[in-house]
Amino acid sequence: MGEWVQGGAALLYWVGIVVAFRGLWLAFQAWLGAPGVDRSIRARGAAVSCSAGVLCVLVGSSVTRTWGLDLPVAWPVLPLPAWLAAGCLLVAVVALGRGLLSALPTERTPRLVSAAGWAGVGALCLVWAQQQNEPFKVLTGKIALTPGAAVAALAIAVVAILTMIAAARSASAHARSKTFVTHLALLAGCFVFGIPFVWLLLTSFKEDRDMASPEGIVWVPRVQQTVPFISDKNPYFEAVYNGQRVEANLEQRKADGTMILAVVRPVGLSGYTFEVEPGQAKQIPREVPLVDVTMDGQKVRGKVVEELEDGGRRVRAIEPAPFAGREQVFPADQVEPYRPVSLRWKNYTEALEFLPPETQFGLVYLRNTVFLVVMNVIGTLLSCALVAYAFARLKFPGKDALFNVLLATMMLPGAVTILPQFLIFKNLGWVNTLQPLWVPAFFAGAFNVFMLRQFFKQIPFELEDAAKIDGCSYLRTFWSVMVPQIKPALVVIAIWTFIGAWNNFMGPLIYVNTPELMPIAYAVQMFNGERFGEPGLLMAFVTMGMLPVLALFAFAQRYFIEGVALSGLGGR
Amino acid sequence: MLRTKLSLALLVALIPSLGLATERQVVTVWGLSAGPDAKGTEAVVREFERRNPDLKVRALRMGAGEMNPQKLMTSIVGGAPPDIINQDRFSLSDWASRGAFRPLDDLVERDRDTDPTTPTPDQYYEAAWKETQFEGKTYGIPTGADDRILYWNRTVFQESAAELRAAGLDPGRPPRTWSETLAYSRVLTKRDAQGNLVRAGFIPNFGNSWLYLFAFQNEASFMSADGRRCTLSSKEAEEALQFMVDGYKLLGGYDAAQKFSSGFLGNENDPFVIGKIAMKIDGDWILSTLSRYAPNLDFGVAPPPVPDDRYARQGRFAGVEPTFVTWIGGFSYAIPEGAKNVEGAWRFIKFATSLEARMIDNQAQAEWDRIRGREFVPRISAHIATNETMLKEFRPRNPNYRAALAMHVELASAGRIRPPSVVGQVLWDEHVKAIESACRLEASPADALRKGQAVVQRELDAHYRYETLPRFDFRGPVIGAAVVIVGLLGAFLLYVRRLNLGRLAREEAKWAFILVSPWLIGFLVFTAGPMVASLIFSFTQYNVLSEPRWVGVENYAALFTTERENLLKAFGNVFYLAGLGVPLGIVSSLGIALLLNTAVAGIKTYRTVFYLPSIVPVVAGAVLWGWVLTPDASKGLVNSAWMATVTQWLGVQPPGWLTVADWAKPALIVMGLWGAGGGMILWLAGLKGVPATLYEAANIDGANGNRQFWSITLPMLSPIVFFNVVTGFIGAIQEFDRVWVLRGGGGTAGPSDSLLVPVVHLFVNGFTYFKLGFASALAWLVFSVILGLTFLQFKIAPRWVHYEADK
């Protein structure tokens, strides 16, 4: 029971704050307004509101024991039906109030009836909630008012009151205050909607060690700085493996001088070993980490020239000058890596290097996707426009019946036909090819036909007649007269088809079995399965996968937005 | 002239030889472990290619060999399978029974006398070989063998030595019996001030034990000896499941344990390495990870704890040998039916499973690890000679690893296998579901197992009944369809003739039909034809690999009887998603649109920010949100924010989102809200369409902003609300991509099937189990639900949707 009292007190506290604010607002109005009856009423209202508000706050905080320094918060934990009941009862109370207050009896009765109805539904919900056997609870806590938060709250209050004053002064200021509030709300919304993007981008630039931290998300990406260093103890080579330029560690040097190298980069080949003649591999500098250490009680920056078996690091100092060149071995915990704020672009190149070699660093995925998108767009535009033109402008027997069939197929979910379609494509020998993913586009989708038909219908008949008189064939009329008239609609359909083809996931999941044929959407899922432990690379790959769509939006924003209006909304 | 001819002839003669010289036949292998640390496999492949210059091996992972064989089955059925699949042995017989794999006996028979590397039964552990057999045929050649043992962290035990002693337990040894395990776990489990787990003593299903291990220990069998009856729900299995339930109870419940383990990382931060769990049951694969990332970890091994009676050899277990048993599994190479290069595949299998290749594998891996200063711990093989040689040549120096390896090899002989069965996969899936529902206390162990058994039994009956079903003659429907089409065409032509069109009209009609033909053909081939086919399939039992058999309305009956529970769940989930998600989406997108509609500066920028999330590719968005919603607050964006606010203020711990059943759907709804920008654009267009005169009139009448919204804006926008509701529900019923990406592995869709949606259920039945008959019936159910719902919405619409044109 105590928690309900606490929760109620917290509610009272907040009601008090709102009421007190209203009091202040009235007071300002009274102060600014002209003297008269109105003014005295306002002043009285202000006094009542303020004192009631302060009283509420005092009572609330005395019960919750949060004397001004903390803000009490409370949250009821209820099963779903109890929430429904609360909602119904609230509506019922409002209806009841309105019913009792309404002047006309003709208005009163239906309101009272609806209040009773809502109350009944609420009661039923309450009974249902009782049967759920889940506890009703109130959680209480407090928001600690740190000095920073207190200052911010105060500032907001001052700004709010100032805008209220300004708003009261003039109509244009009123508009300005409204704009201010709107911007505030929009910015808050943008923050919520944008933060996953920000997180995605930042994660794609972070080092692995920053992926998880007990203090919460790491928002500032830092990158270990390195310097090139040629080490004879641990040499690094550039060589050619399977026709590809690779960087490799020395694994073993044989007596006859041939070396066994282990690939380090590209990352996709990392770990593969191969033998080379001494002349075929060129020693190149290795990137070694920069670290901060303490030498003779002074902070020194140096490079790690050797990593010892026991985890120790041999560090060669670089700066300041007097220490330069000095070498010393430090245990691992005394070496502070030098990681200035920076972006790790390597995540992107490494993500691509990780892909199977036959995908040419993901270019094959891109090629497949682009191919599918292009074919789908061409197929859809061509077939849909032709069919829509015939349905809109030509007369032929059975037209209405066929058009009704077309409308009916719009209702059909894809789920019904995927299985038999799979069998069709299997019998055509098209499994593990891209055909099943683009050929159907050449056979006119119902929704697009329907939409384009509306557009063709709006074109005046005079144009067509003129073409006919000039002796144009139907195809010629279609191409030279009709198509130019519906270009905006075609662009919109092209964009929708683009996005649909780019995102198609179930299709490749069924039909594609080799990396050479994978489009990006499927590759992202495979990448997710195989590189789950490396969020940096995964997020880099995800970013690359969505970039083209976002780029399309940037270029064709107008059509995206207009497309909605063009579609006629109720079209479906 | 002659010279041209000659050179042409020469060229023609050269082409084949050129082809031979340059074109090597490719052997595609799925499911090989590849990557930087799989040196052994790489060495074997390279050696094979050196010895067989005409062959090239192409190793792909393709998610193959894992618990969900959708990709493999689709490729086999589609006639484009790989040449070899490295497949989990237990599922071999299941798919073999459907004709997915090629029996290897003829190849073994052919080569056994001429080629000493030919695999034969006597070279393998009996259990491992038995697992590849189905109805007397061999469908795979075993590669590895993995048995499960108990790993315990000595350091953790020592830290809690005093408490363990106080509880009457010996901190110097691990538990031997089930009740001891629970007692140790109770002491070793630690919580923080808020009651969150910081260490779990023993999570029953963490590592790799499942119910199978505990059930084998309790002498449960899962199938009758003839394989025709499922005995999942036995008293023995029930006790084993009860043990798991008790193990979770003392951790604070299954969800608490799942949330705790969602924060686990791998490698050097492995929960076992850093003491977040004190004991686990796992296979020998973890040894190489431990030796790499925590070479100095002080751990011990022991046989997995057994039922108390078994340890005491009393009651049911009086005289039962041996005391300790474990569960053994592993992979094997199999050749899918329809593989293009059987001979090449067989040559690779023979080589890769020979003693020599297995030693090349170990040698390469050992060398690789030696250079990196890691202790090499070989994996156990199903090949007896390999294990013997391996133990001699690659004995680990570190006594902990030596003991572990010895324990694994020793217990391998006491290993039990999952019974080879035509329903192995379903049995597995159902046993997972039973574990989940029992451990989440949704059902008693007995009920959970009984439910699973019923499902498996049904599958069994359906399989064995197949032969007795009447054949289904496809000619009937095909001829019927042809007659109908010809009839319709004829009637149409007659009708056209009766119309008596003029020359111009005929010309126009001709062109019209030419222009409409893409849609017409597409409609017949991709819509009408498939619909008819789907209707016919729905009355058959059909798995594509063998011919369909007629079962009548059984598939439809199944929808309402045996599958009722799944479907209620699937449609319940959908209505939950739509019922909560659609209104929330409408409210939030309308809210944004109203804010944007106030003609503030920068509207374009705002609009872009709000709209962008809705065009993010679904798969990319799902992957992104999978990470954003990671329950662990040190990684997950949402829970990190939650911890900083709600937990700070109210002390409420953040939810487990996609890892726990109650929060998986809310997680999907939150994801959906991110895409509210799509709806916003609709609203904006709609708001522009509301005539300003209406507002002017209202202003004159003295209606305030609130009143204007409810009386003008909303009614004028009601067609868009309607549109959103209809498309929202239809879209939700067809939900697939996000769930498929986020559902996690295995045969379930989210924790406790909490993300099971109709299309995923259809897809799994259609493209994983290839139960085309049932899947087609389900497709029709989905269709009729969508149709019914749309109809209903259109019926109700006139009551609240306001169409301007009606006035």
Q: What is the pLDDT of residue B196?
A: 81
Name the residue among B518, B618, B686 with its Cβ closest to that of A505: B618
Q: What's the whole-number average pLDDT of chain A?
A: 84
User: How confident is the model over B255-284, as pLDDT tens digits?
Assistant: 888 878 776 766 667 888 888 899 999 998
Name the residue among A143, A272, A521 with its Cβ closest to that of B617: A521
Q: What is the pLDDT of residue B1?
A: 47
CA distance A444 to A376: 10
pLDDT exceeds 60 at position B344: yes
User: How confident is the model over B36-95, as pLDDT tens digits?
Assistant: 567 788 888 888 988 998 998 887 766 544 545 778 888 888 888 889 988 888 888 888
How does residue A271 score in pLDDT terms, banded at 50, 70 and 90? low
Which residue of A lies nearest to B520 if distances are taken between CA atoms? A443
- Residue B336 structure tokens: 């899918």
Q: What is the pLDDT of residue B13?
A: 45
Give the residue-averaged pLDDT of B127-153.
90
CA distance A269 to A133: 58
* Percent of chain A with pLDDT strictly greater than 70: 93
Q: Check CB contact of A172 with chain B, cutoff 8 Å.
A: no
pLDDT exceeds 70 at position A478: yes
Give the residue-averaged pLDDT of A319-344.
86
User: How confident is the model over A55-80, as pLDDT tens digits?
Assistant: 988 888 887 776 656 788 888 888 88
Give the residue-averaged pLDDT of A356-360.
77
Q: What is the pLDDT of residue A33?
A: 65
Q: What is the pLDDT of residue B86?
A: 87
Chain B residues touching A189 at Cβ < 8 A: 592, 595, 606, 610
φ, ψ at A240 (rounded to 5°): -115, 125
3-state secondary structure of A240: strand
CA distance B512 to A500: 29
Taking an 8 Å cut-off on Cβ atoms, the answer to whether A443 and B526 are in contact is: yes
Q: Check CB contact of A449 with chain B, cutoff 8 Å.
A: yes
Give the residue-averaged pLDDT of B233-248.
93
How does residue B126 score in pLDDT terms, banded at 50, 70 and 90? confident
Q: Which of B729, B731, B755, B579 is nearest to B665 (CA)?
A: B755
User: How confident is the model over A413-431, as pLDDT tens digits?
Assistant: 887 888 889 988 988 889 8
CB B450 within 8 A of CB B476: no
Whole-Å CA distances, B480 to B228, B470, B493, B669: 39, 20, 20, 47
Give the residue-averaged pLDDT of B578-588.
91
Do strands B277-282 and B197-207 pair parallel, antiparallel, or not at all (unpaired)?
Answer: parallel
Taking an 8 Å cut-off on Cβ atoms, the answer to whether B612 and A387 are in contact is: no
Q: What is the pLDDT of residue B104?
A: 93
Smallest Cα distance from B282 to chain A, Å? 20
3-state secondary structure of A316: strand
How does residue A132 score in pLDDT terms, banded at 50, 70 and 90? confident
Between residues B372 and B165, the one the model is more confident about: B165
Taking an 8 Å cut-off on Cβ atoms, the answer to whether B650 and A553 are in contact is: no
What secondary structure, in 3-state letters, does B332-390 show? EEECECCCCCHHHHHHHHHHHCCHHHHHHHHHHHHHHHHHCCCCCCCCCECEHHHHHHH
Taking an 8 Å cut-off on Cβ atoms, the answer to whether B616 and A546 are in contact is: yes
pLDDT exceeds 80 at position A173: no
How does residue B666 score in pLDDT terms, banded at 50, 70 and 90? very high
Interface of A with B in 256-295 (CB under 8 A): 262, 270-273
Name the residue among B499, B618, B782 with its Cβ closest to that of A413: B782
Which residue of A lies nearest to B81 if distances are taken between CA atoms? A513
Q: Which of A329-333, B501-505, B522-526 has the highest mean pLDDT?
A: B522-526
Chain B residues touching A402 at Cβ < 8 A: 516, 520
Q: What is the pLDDT of residue A122?
A: 92
pLDDT exceeds 80 at position B190: yes
- Residue B792 structure tokens: 């209903």
Chain A residues touching B491 at Cβ < 8 A: none
Taking an 8 Å cut-off on Cβ atoms, the answer to whether A75 and B780 are in contact is: no
Q: What is the pLDDT of residue B266?
A: 64
How does residue A209 score in pLDDT terms, banded at 50, 70 and 90? confident
User: How confident is the model over B558-577, as pLDDT tens digits?
Assistant: 888 888 888 999 999 999 99
Between residues B674 and A234, the one the model is more confident about: B674
Name the residue among A179, A189, A511 with its Cβ closest to that of B600: A179
φ, ψ at A106 (rounded to 5°): -65, -30
User: How confident is the model over B586-607, as pLDDT tens digits?
Assistant: 999 999 988 888 777 888 888 8
Chain B residues touching A446 at Cβ < 8 A: 519
Question: Which domains, from first to last, does chain B contain?
Answer: 23-144+332-360 (3.40.190.10), 147-328+404-421 (3.40.190.10), 475-539 (no CATH), 559-806 (1.10.3720.10)
Q: Check CB contact of A546 with chain B, cutoff 8 Å.
A: yes
Chain A residues touching B78 at Cβ < 8 A: 422, 425-426, 431-432, 511, 513
Give the residue-averaged pLDDT of A183-193.
89
Whole-Å CA distances, A239 to A232, A263, A360, B170, B453: 17, 9, 19, 58, 59
Between residues A97 and B768, the one the model is more confident about: A97
CA torsion B160-B166-B168-B173 (nearest 10°) is 20
* Percent of chain B with pLDDT strictly greater than 90: 27
Q: What is the pLDDT of residue B14?
A: 44
Give the residue-averaged pLDDT of A269-275.
73
Give the residue-averaged pLDDT of A422-450.
90
Q: Check CB contact of A191 with chain B, cutoff 8 Å.
A: no
CA B91-B92-B94 angle, 5° bins? 65
Q: Check CB contact of A476 with chain B, cutoff 8 Å.
A: no
Name the residue among A142, A178, A423 with its Cβ closest to that of B649: A142
Question: Which domains, from first to last, does chain A contain?
Answer: 2-186 (no CATH), 226-350 (no CATH), 357-566 (1.10.3720.10)
Q: What's the whole-number average pLDDT of chain B?
A: 85
How does residue A8 score in pLDDT terms, banded at 50, 70 and 90? confident
Q: What is the pLDDT of residue A540?
A: 92
User: How confident is the model over B694-704, as pLDDT tens digits?
Assistant: 888 888 887 77
Q: What is the pLDDT of residue A35?
A: 63
Interface of A with B in 89-118 (CB under 8 A): none
Q: What is the pLDDT of residue A169?
A: 67
CA distance B282 to B148: 5
Interface pTM, i.e. ipTM: 0.84
Name the residue among B492, B611, B634 with its Cβ closest to that of A398: B492
pTM: 0.83
Chain centroid, CA B14 distance in Å: 50
